[in-house]
Amino acid sequence: MIRKAKTVLLHRKFSVEDLRSYSPEGSVDLFFSNAVFQCLDKDERFSIIKKLIETQLSGGVFAL
C-alpha cells in the first residue's frame, strides 16, 4: 500500500513506523490508519493515539 502511494503521490512523504516508538519530525497534517490499532493492546491504543494527536497542528486529520 505504501509503495503504491509513493508512486502516485510523488510530492508526499510516507513512512512505516513502530507506533510504540514513533515520534514525527515536526507537525503532521494527516495520520491514516488501516486497522493498525487492532494490533495493539487496549491499554496502549489510547496513550499512543493521544501522543500522535498532540503532534498535529489545529486542523490536522487523524483518520482511523
The domain locations on the chain are 28-64
Task: At 1, list the grid cell.
Answer: 500500500
pLDDT confidence band for 17 (50 / 70 / 90): confident
Evaluate whether 20 touches 47 at the Cβ level (below 8 Å).
no
**Predicted pLDDT at 9:** 92
> What pLDDT digit, counting tens, does each position of 35-53 carry?
888 888 888 998 998 988 8
Residues 6+ positions from 35 with CB-CB distance below 8 Å: none
Please say whether the dihedral angle defined by the alpha carbons of residues 39, 45, 49 and 51, taken in this order, is positive or negative. Answer: negative
Residues 6+ positions from 34 with CB-CB distance below 8 Å: 1
**Predicted pLDDT at 7:** 93
